[in-house]
Structure 1
Amino acid sequence: MSWQQQSQVDDMVSSLNGRNIQNTSRLTKKQSSESVVTSEGNFWFVIIDLAIGCSLENAIDVNSTDVLSQFQQHSDSTASNGSTHSLCRDSNTPGSTFTASCSYMHRQTNSIERYSANMNNSVSSPQMFPSFSATSFIPMTAPLHSGPVGTIPPPLSSAPNPSVSDITSNLKPTSAHQLLTPFTPPITNDLYKSDPRNETSVHHSYQVLNKSAPSSQTQCHYQMNGNGPSGLCNLQHDFSRMNFAVQSTRFIDLVLERNLMKYENEDEKITLPPTVCNPGARCNSSIFRCTLNSVPQTPELLKKSRLPFGLTLQPFRDMKSLNIIQTSTIVRCRYCRAYINPYVCLPDTRHWKCNICYRVNDLPDDFNWDPATKSFGEPTRRPEIRNATVEFIAPSEYTLRPPQPAVYVFIMDVSQNAIETGYLYTFTEQLLIALEQLPGDDRTMLCFIGVDSAIHFFQFYGESFPHHLIVDDYADIFLPVSCGLLVNLRQNLDVVRSFVQSLPTLYESNSSTSCCLGAALNAAHELIADIGGRITVFLTRIPDLGQGALKSREDPNQRAASEVPNLCPANDYYKRLALECTGHQIGVDLFLLSSHYADLSTLADVSKFSSGCIYYFPNYHINRNPVEVKRFQKQFNRYLIRKIGFEAVLRIRCTKGLSLHTFYGNFFVRSTDLLAVANVSPDSAIGVQVQMEENLVGVNTVCFQAAVLYTSSKGDRRIRIHTLSLPLTKDLSTLFNHFDVRCAISLVSRMAVERTLTGSSLADSREAMVNAVVDIFCAYNYSISQGNHINSVFSPTTSIRFFPLYVLGMLKHRAFTAGQSVKLDNRVAALLLFRSAPLEVIDLELYPALYELNHFIENETDPPRLHLSFANVNRNGVYLLDTGSYVYVYISFSVESNIIKCLFDVDAFAEIDEEKSFEVLDNPFSDRVHSFLRKLSIYRTVFAPVIIIREDSSLRDLFCQRLIEDRTESSHSYSEFLNHIQLEMQKY
């Protein structure tokens, strides 16, 4: 090196030191394993790379299809031979472990070193959260000392935190004061663009106004640290001079940047290479998506990024346009059995190269036949090549037995408590409406079973009213008759209709106060074991008799504790019963309509392991809680008429070099990539962790293919196939830029739920969430600074910058919150929601959508989306808050009387009736508001009732608690949370 070159380097180093940027390193000509070569002259800059090592043992292959025998061999049913998955490290133990429920996993030895200087060549193991820290996240009751902090709002009431149904069941207006909170960063439009249940995308052009400018204190902080608008530019400029390849990546400081919306369009577009057959084909992102839209080529690169690698899948989602193919030959790879798809390679018209195993297969002679045009042509014109999602009508070789008829069994709680709630009136009303719309054909059969301290059967005889048969011996249950308990719906429609109408009055004088649910489930299972079908359970109290009897485990004094006990099942009775049902192709769905503790954490296993669904309606009463009554009506109606698939199995294949590690959702895992799904629902989603087993050399894309083989309600066997293809990358910055934050937070929330419900403490799960943010942004900051310490929280300008905001929403959600009084069943129900909910529902649950309805007075366009802070709530405004499960309409005290008249048909604020339903009125303003409400409803598959909240109402806390960017007495504000993340990052 010449003295002139040495002088230039010294000048650059001095200039960086002048800005307090610790980015200098000694120069050397000695190349080592820890060095990277720059392209400028003969300089060698010593760069310490981030490396994290994990060691994994190989998984044990299980291929048995006998569900019950597998469960007996592996009674945990989660990981073979008690395999555990290291998830969180605390200050006392070297590695806390958990068993992921209903997953087939590798055993993983936790040997993580946080930022090791050497890179191991071990397998890249997926992690719930990329790394672990020893400091737990404890909500602070005062602002942190660093970072700009505005006016702190007065604390909310310290009284127990009510649920929606707790308050709506007894509405009494009370006085309230307005909160004043600092402005917090907005959220991008693209983050909340969600495809509806059909294939048509609906996007809103949200405009978020920045109501604050950087203060003088903020500008001073920028100048002192060299990280302000000019400081960042200079830092990037100096890096570019040294060829650190940072000039192409824009990044911001999350602690100081107040307006994130200006970067909303900077997510890079994903393109596939032209080597695939149809690079323009795309799988609907609402159905199938990956946390990484560009996949790393090596396990080491994935470890360095600390990003979660996984998939979310809603395989049976309703679609407006679905390509259904009936052909004599379904083209599959003869080696890996993958289905032909748009991302294979067609070297000629006679062969195709599989994109899963990379082997060449022959094309059948008739594949050049285009069924759409009824003519021969190019193979690329086939619907299998043109579409990423297709459905085949399966030929006979995919059928092991004649297709089953649609069989529906209803188990109804008829105890005294159930009669008092009045749910039978709603049940009969909705069933009568949907009776002729139930999915099925002429073979559809129904069964009705009542349960209290005995089991009530109904035997149908021709045109006569069914016989009522009662079995008192719940300890040794049996079927009282051999025929007549299952009735053909089409042939006996009038009799069934008459019977359903009589149900509420049939038990109106029942005085039994007990419930033997376990015996009723056993009877229903025995009745349809040879056929399969669906069992629907309606329950209003805890089962306390016979098999599966439970006792109350809730301690009201522990509802607000940091360590919430009894989140795990009390026993495995319902889990074993569910596995027996799965083996006979029976799914069990649960509707819990209870005002008292029912031990939902134990009961949930009957649905989880039988691929069922769980619906929770707390404090249900037909007269006192109209909100929950409306929810039950709408959701039960949707449940009855939606599509259903019987006898289903789901297999997910992935490119050679990748493997599936853990599954999250309601199903039973039969082997490493095969899920048993007795009933497949369009409203259920799953999560999958993916691991890299080897370097992906010689390829430029990876593919995931999900195939659902099921029996339709019409009795034909079908295969629905979704294929997702993603490009590969060698660049660390590309990984961060192509990180899908919505998919990632959906996967992380499912993993956190599984961890919490399978033995780990709530505090451990909360700590792991914070560690996830720390680790990801430590990795990114390390990458852009090339190993030098930066006292900031830098983030790319892509959607990853919203990851801390989502995690804060998760910490404040009733499922994971600490320091607030939440009933045990309410908390468990919230946890179970994340386990199987679609991505768009999780999105709104964690970061609700806030709009000002006054916008519609002078505008017909959709209102801009607002930040979740009370700073954006004016005293003269009406606001709509969409939380996924509920929609709140909040009316401030000083709203103009003409707005009140147009929306609520009353003359003054004090006359607004919160118990009255929010109906459309005959005026343009009301029309626009309700049209907007209908537009929002297509984003979800579950009905969300509208709750009217006045500013002086006791319901006000429901609204304020979902403004997650504000501080409460038990949790951080968003600004404080980022400051906490910054402090944690400084420890590494």
Structure 2
Amino acid sequence: MENEHVYLQVRDELRMNVNQQPHMATPYGQPQPGYQGYPQPGYGGDHVPSGYPAQYAPYNGPGSAYQQGPPQGYSPYASFPSKTLATNLVSDLSSSSPLDLGTRGPPTSGAPPVSGAQNYSQFGQGENQNGPPPMGAPPQRPPVSQPYTPGAVNLPGPQHPYGQRFGAPPVSMQHMTNQMASMQVGSTAPSPAGPGYAPPSVSQAAVSAPYTPAAPPTFPPASTASSQPLPTEALAQAPPHSYYGALPPVQQPFQNAVPTFSSAGPTQPQAPPPVSPQSFPQAPPISQPPFSTAQVHPGPTQSYRGPLPSTQSSFPRPPHPTSQPSAFPAGPPPTSIPSQLPGVMQPQPPVSQPSPYHSGPPTTSTGFPPQVGAPPRPSFPGMQGPPMASQGPPMASQGPPMASQGPPMAQANHILPTQPGMPPGPINASLSGPPPQPGMQGYPPQQNGAFGQVRGPQPGYTGPYPGQPNYGAPPAAPASAPAAPKRLDPDSIPSPIQVIEDDKANKGSEPFTTGVRGQAPPLVTTKFQVKDQGNASPRYIRCTAYNMPCNSDMAKQSQVPLAAVIKPLAPLPPDETPPYLVDHGESGPIRCNRCKAYLCPYMQFSEGGRRFQCGFCNCVTEVPPNYFQHLDHTGKRVDCYDRPELSMGSYDFMTTVDYCKNNKFPQPPAFIFLIDVSYNAVKNGTVGIVCQELKTLLDYLPRENPDVESNIRVGFVTYNKVLHFYNVKASLAQPQMMVVSDVADMFVPLLDGFLVSVSESRVVIESLLDQIPEMFADTRETETVFGPVIQAGLEALKAADCAGKLFVFHSSLPIAEAPGKLKNREDKKLVGTDKEKTLFQPQVSFYNTLAKECVAQGCCVDLFLFPNQYVDVATLGVVPTSTGGSIYKYTYFQAPSDQERFLNDLRRDVQKQVGFDAVMRVRTSTGIRATDFFGAFYMSNTTDVELAGLDCDKTVTVEFRHDDKLSEETGALMQCAVLYTSCSGQRRLRIHNMAVNCCSQLADLYRNCETDTIINFFAKYAYRSVLSSPTKNVRDSLVNQCAQILACYRKNCASPSSAGQLILPECMKLLPVYLNCVLKSDVLQPGADVSLDDRAYLRQLVSTMDVAESHVFFYPHLLPLQKLDVESMALPMAVRDSEERLSRGGVYLLENGLNIFLWVGVSAQQELLQNIFGTPAFSQIDPNMTSLPALDNPFSKRLREIIESVRAQRSRYMKLMVVKQEDKLELIFKHFLVEDKSNSGGASYVDFLCHMHKEIRQLLS
């Protein structure tokens, strides 16, 4: 514990803050006419009162969001109510420049820090009079010739000498190694990649003792003749799964291999010190780069008793049936927050410092790296005998030093000479005697640094992985018995929890400014404030890579997907200002003459302000006379920071009639409620619940201004085999029903009185809603229609000549004779076959045609399903997913337990911000183009994304490919324009601009990716692929692409190392665990009890998820409540999603965006149970409860606050399920522990990591 405190103290004292911004100065400039935006309060501004913000108040010039450094542009950060109505997005049907970006690949993390404040004077005429342009040059990067920071992961398998091809190690390198498989993990926290990149969160104290380089040691040649083969490791004994292939053959260890070397220095790795002569068994010679030696000083020693080794499990066998209650709609795995195993002794941090100019992204490695000065590795061709692995335990260089006469045993990939004057790293004191065996004293736990080094104890280990010579291990006793089987230690592999916590610590305290091109934002799990300075907020756009390859060959080689996840109407937190509304008058928004891009910060003005050059196509366009403004001596308009469209990344334009259908302004939209009144719907209570709720919900229809009533009109229809329309005109004393029984030729029987204003017809509407449940209380009609219901709503909107939304409440398979009639085609025998894809395809083409008609009219459909059996969601969901709508599914609906969830979903769906009749287009700069789109929309051509409705929860994912070369100087630009009708009937454009860097080196690409966004893209790509390919092929394709991404990094960016090491780039070290969650999800690998409807529902649900939702959906958030501090507002650190992390005496909260589970251990403390449930006895807890009792104690109040806070963060209300340990419902809960092996045959995290390593080796061999 003492060492732990030392480490934490050093870490906290040396942590650097990123993106610090100077304080805001007073505003400058004069009000400009012609704007209708929000007033701009400064940092100390008052919060906007009431529940809604003053959305579009007149624009009165800049606010106080200006500073003496780089101007903040239009970034007032005063609070505004969270219920803000987002303005509608802009897009048009005009011609646009082509777009395309590259092939798929993984994400990255970490952003370069924003440059410090620059001199600025409001009145001076210096070069920085107006501050740096919002789209300045990319941050300075280190020379691309500098190497990456590789790590290593020892995994089973034969060694291939491909490490040799890398040649001699580079001169300057930062090393980091993590040893897997019951080995120690030693890592050096990598340093920042140079100016413009985030510094490490943990700096390590340097040792002051100098050293002098020495000549490299020489070792006698090894001979295989004298080596004695040892029994094989048990790592690969189990038969492999047929899908993943066999594990590599097991190799035998060398004996008595004791090389010496030193740990990595602050700037460059240190060289190994001279050692006394050692004798080594002979082995086939193999070339190895020379290394220098240096004098180093011994460090302290520390040891601990590690856990006993456990048996290595083989890679998963074919899937087995899962027994899950069919009533539960299973979903893909969940998300979690960083944490470490409690109670683990923390060693002292390494004393070497990372290089401040490290050029490559830090790499995470988990394994046993090759050791310097050891006998040469055997070469496979012509090998005279099987290679053998030493029995000596590996040692970690960056963890606490061991008592040995040599330096630490686990080094970075290469030991290189350090820079003159740099202190050496820690070394080990003498170590005598045989290595620790199972049950003996092991090695100390390793620190988990800021860059993902794993914390936690490592079990004692008697040798390396198969095929891994044990270079650098202590002398081993002759082996006379087989070594104990080993498995990878979960604590030694990258932890999602630790990565999340590190990002929160590094990036959660400072605002994220968007003025630096190509800057990766904080993770979606980190709370942060955004300051718009020329690029769109990451709440609107997140990219898979913020350094884009300069050419298609590089993109194809890396296989990193080049995509952006765009959420045009994303809600903002109260401390961020919504986009401003800009009005350019009767002439409309100013655009480029050629590519039709809208005016943005990337346009360069010339000729004194009379012309501007487009940043997308380089075309020069005349500036309209009424928009002319002079330029300052830097070439910027003097009113640049007074105009949102010239200084901000996101803003809205008012449009003219030219942007409207048929050249006339649209009517206010309408909401139509279509209620199933068949026997099933009446019996389960949904009819009465819907009618009762609508009486109050209609007062909360979306509106632009909270002080003005909503312009949205409403209408009502009920149906079973026939349709009932209702006249609720205000002049009527009672509502009138009109029945349409000819469902084959649907029409609306009345025009006047069907769509009405709520305020005018309130009395008649309430009377109707009271009568509907009574009228159909005794119905015996079980058959329903569905296609004619959508047609009825569509025809009503056509007759009213407006856009709108249909809210359909449906309960059963539409088997009545009518257009769109369906049959029960559920056949689980097709699951896993080549015909499985037909189960995800619509049963009939009728609904595809109907969806196209709905989009043309701007008719969005939201579907609420209450099925008790198969309803063919794959077919019924075609219209909602094609029109930008949503699907809500409540299987086996029961009012007492499901009513709260349904009503909360309905309330949010009705009230949330939405745009209608939307068209989105993504323009890019020359060299790339948008080629593929994912989401809930319809496309009639290759460029325009058409959405009948676009709400604040919907995302559109865009993939880019190259069509020409890109320039590192100019970078790559993209502009998303969404044209839509607001809920007040205004036609508007929303613009989002994004600029990213371009790179000619793979090292720069891998440094600046975002894994969460890559996984979001992979999931959407895979879930769409199941429509045309068997799920097994889809899974294989994902694994192959992930392996290619990591193999390309290993081959081109990492240092030479043993084939037994898995080397992961720092920003992608969680790619395997997250990808495994996607592969094991119910859509791609379902359990036996997962229904076909659930799989279709989840497939359509994921297609519109943003990055935050997909993250928690695939890797759930697991909180240990027994560690909850009621006095603090902070949540306890989450734990990893594995059963091993659960304590029988604990209570845990798990959420995945769709459900909340409260897991109670059988040995939970009575006081804890009393505070939560009001009973001290575990046996008295009611597992059927869906809400916690409101007890009068601090713990109960805090827990209920946490649950409500988590629910508020998600787009859907999450039902609470109480799961008692060893109860039948625990099987459902364990389904979301995604790091474990799944009952459907999905691999555990450890097994999948081994499999990925095997795939990578095959690609490199």
Query: Under TM normalisation by the shorter chain, which class is it?
Result: 0.7 to 0.9
Secondary structure in 1 matching 2:1077: helix
Q: Distance in 2 between matches of 1:914 and 1:769?
A: 38
What's 2:956 paired with?
A: 686
1:975 and 2:1241 matched: no
Q: Distance in 2 between matches of 1:895 and 1:39?
A: 55
What's 2:1071 paired with?
A: 803
What's 2:413 paired with?
A: 235
Given residue 378 of structure 1, which amino acid in structure 2 is its aligned partner?
A: D
1:315 and 2:568 matched: yes
Q: CA 1:145–1:959 in structure 2 vs 1: closer, same or farther (change >3 Å)?
A: farther
Q: Distance in 2 between matches of 1:233 and 1:349?
A: 60
Q: Distance in 2 between matches of 1:941 and 1:263?
A: 25
Which of 549, 574, 585 lines up with 2:821 in the alignment?
549
TM-aligned CA deviation for residue 786 of structure 1: 7.9
1:437 and 2:700 matched: yes
Which of 1044, 1047, 1056 lines up with 1:775 in the alignment?
1044
Q: Distance in 1 between matches of 2:626 and 2:757?
A: 42
TM-aligned CA deviation for residue 367 of structure 1: 4.9
Contact 1:289 1:743 in 2 (8 A): yes
Q: Distance in 1 between matches of 2:330 and 2:1043?
A: 37
Q: Distance in 2 between matches of 1:293 and 1:946?
A: 38
Q: CA 1:360–1:207 in structure 2 vs 1: closer, same or farther (change >3 Å)?
A: farther
Which consecutive unaligned segments of at least 5 residues does structure 2 have? Answer: 1-158, 172-239, 253-308, 348-365, 372-388, 398-407, 420-449, 455-486, 520-530, 631-636, 704-708
What's 1:766 paired with?
A: 1035
Which of 664, 677, 690 lines up with 1:414 in the alignment?
677
Q: Distance in 1 between matches of 2:494 and 2:582?
A: 53
Output one character per residue of 1:247-305: Cα deviation in whole Å (capped at 9) or x when no partner. xx9998997843557777599999977999x9943422122111111111111111121
Pairs within 5 Å for 1:85-234: 138=243, 160-163=323-326, 165=328, 211=344, 233-234=411-412
Pairs within 5 Å for 1:168-567: 211=344, 233-237=411-415, 257-258=492-493, 260=495, 280-319=533-572, 320=574, 321-329=577-585, 330-346=589-605, 349-364=609-624, 367=627, 377-399=638-660, 400-439=663-702, 443-461=711-729, 462-529=731-798, 530-545=801-816, 546-556=818-828, 564=836, 566-567=839-840
Contact 1:459 1:467 in 2 (8 A): yes
Secondary structure in 2 matching 1:865: coil
Output one character per residue of 1:338-397: Cα deviation in whole Å (capped at 9) or x when no partner. 122234445565544322113344445555789xxxxx9532332223321111222343
Secondary structure in 1 matching 2:580: strand
Output one character per residue of 1:842-872: Cα deviation in whole Å (capped at 9) or x when no partner. 1111000111011125762320111111111
Q: Distance in 1 between matches of 2:1035 and 2:518?
A: 44
Q: Alignment RMSD, CA only?
A: 3.9
Given residue 805 of structure 2, which amino acid in structure 1 is its aligned partner?
A: R
Pairs within 5 Å for 1:814-829: 814-829=1082-1097
Secondary structure in 1 matching 2:1044: helix
Contact 1:252 1:796 in 2 (8 A): no
Q: CA 1:943–1:25 in structure 2 vs 1: closer, same or farther (change >3 Å)?
A: closer
Contact 1:341 1:385 in 2 (8 A): yes
Contact 1:23 1:785 in 2 (8 A): no
Secondary structure in 2 matching 1:464: coil
1:573 and 2:846 matched: yes
Q: CA 1:612–1:778 in structure 2 vs 1: closer, same or farther (change >3 Å)?
A: same
Higher relative helix content:
1
Q: CA 1:307–1:383 in structure 2 vs 1: closer, same or farther (change >3 Å)?
A: same
* TM-score (norm: length of structure 2): 0.60
What's 1:107 paired with?
A: none
Secondary structure in 1 matching 2:739: strand
Q: Distance in 2 between matches of 1:275 and 1:450?
A: 53
TM-aligned CA deviation for residue 780 of structure 1: 1.3
Contact 1:655 1:704 in 2 (8 A): yes
Output one character per residue of 1:821-859: Cα deviation in whole Å (capped at 9) or x when no partner. 311101111111111122211111100011101112576
TM-aligned CA deviation for residue 491 of structure 1: 1.6
1:23 and 2:258 matched: no
Q: Distance in 2 between matches of 1:818 and 1:577?
A: 31
Contact 2:728 2:756 in 1 (8 A): yes
TM-aligned CA deviation for residue 537 of structure 1: 1.4
Q: Distance in 2 between matches of 1:537 and 1:966?
A: 39
Secondary structure in 2 matching 1:721: strand
Q: CA 1:251–1:656 in structure 2 vs 1: closer, same or farther (change >3 Å)?
A: farther
What's 1:855 paired with?
A: 1123
User: Please, which moves more after superposition, 889-898 or 531-540?
Assistant: 531-540
Secondary structure in 1 matching 2:884: coil
Output one character per residue of 1:196-240: Cα deviation in whole Å (capped at 9) or x when no partner. xxxxxxxxxx666585999xxx98787659997567745244599
What's 1:582 paired with?
A: 855
Given residue 823 of structure 2, which amino acid in structure 1 is its aligned partner?
A: K
Which consecutive unaligned segments of at least 5 residues does structure 1 have? Answer: 1-18, 28-36, 41-134, 169-185, 190-205, 242-248, 371-375
Contact 1:607 1:614 in 2 (8 A): yes
Contact 1:389 1:723 in 2 (8 A): yes
What's 1:95 paired with?
A: none
* TM-score (norm: length of structure 1): 0.75
Q: CA 1:474–1:378 in structure 2 vs 1: closer, same or farther (change >3 Å)?
A: closer
Given residue 976 of structure 1, which amino acid in structure 2 is its aligned partner?
A: D
Given residue 457 of structure 1, which amino acid in structure 2 is its aligned partner?
A: F
TM-aligned CA deviation for residue 778 of structure 1: 1.4
What's 1:891 paired with?
A: 1160
Secondary structure in 2 matching 1:391: strand
Q: CA 1:590–1:774 in structure 2 vs 1: closer, same or farther (change >3 Å)?
A: same
Q: Distance in 1 between matches of 2:894 and 2:169?
A: 71
Output one character per residue of 1:715-739: Cα deviation in whole Å (capped at 9) or x when no partner. 2121111111111111201211211
Given residue 163 of structure 2, which amino acid in structure 1 is its aligned partner?
A: N
Q: Distance in 1 between matches of 2:532 and 2:418?
A: 34
Secondary structure in 2 matching 1:547: coil
Contact 1:164 1:958 in 2 (8 A): no
What's 2:1108 paired with?
A: 840
What's 2:1170 paired with?
A: 901
Given residue 787 of structure 2, which amino acid in structure 1 is its aligned partner?
A: G
Contact 2:834 2:1029 in 1 (8 A): no
Given residue 597 of structure 2, which amino acid in structure 1 is its aligned partner?
A: A
TM-aligned CA deviation for residue 152 of structure 1: 7.0
Which of 961, 965, 968 lines up with 1:695 in the alignment?
965
Secondary structure in 1 matching 2:871: coil
Secondary structure in 2 matching 1:669: coil
Output one character per residue of 1:682-707: Cα deviation in whole Å (capped at 9) or x when no partner. 11112111101111137432111111
TM-aligned CA deviation for residue 926 of structure 1: 2.0
TM-aligned CA deviation for residue 459 of structure 1: 2.4
What's 2:977 paired with?
A: 707
Output one character per residue of 1:863-886: Cα deviation in whole Å (capped at 9) or x when no partner. 011111111111110101111111
Q: Distance in 2 between matches of 1:251 and 1:404?
A: 55
User: Please, which moves more after superposition, 291-300 or 515-524?
Assistant: 515-524
Secondary structure in 1 matching 2:1053: helix
TM-aligned CA deviation for residue 483 of structure 1: 3.5
Q: CA 1:361–1:922 in structure 2 vs 1: closer, same or farther (change >3 Å)?
A: farther
User: Please, which moves more after superposition, 411-420 or 479-488?
Assistant: 479-488
Contact 1:653 1:706 in 2 (8 A): yes
- What percent identity do the matched residue pairs reach? 23
What's 2:905 paired with?
A: 635
Q: Distance in 2 between matches of 1:240 and 1:661?
A: 48
TM-aligned CA deviation for residue 643 of structure 1: 1.5
TM-aligned CA deviation for residue 141 of structure 1: 13
Higher relative strand content:
1
Given residue 322 of structure 1, which amino acid in structure 2 is its aligned partner?
A: P
Contact 2:368 2:1060 in 1 (8 A): no
What's 1:667 paired with?
A: 937
Q: CA 1:797–1:697 in structure 2 vs 1: closer, same or farther (change >3 Å)?
A: closer
> How many equivalent residue pairs?
813
TM-aligned CA deviation for residue 944 of structure 1: 1.5
TM-aligned CA deviation for residue 503 of structure 1: 2.0
TM-aligned CA deviation for residue 637 of structure 1: 0.6
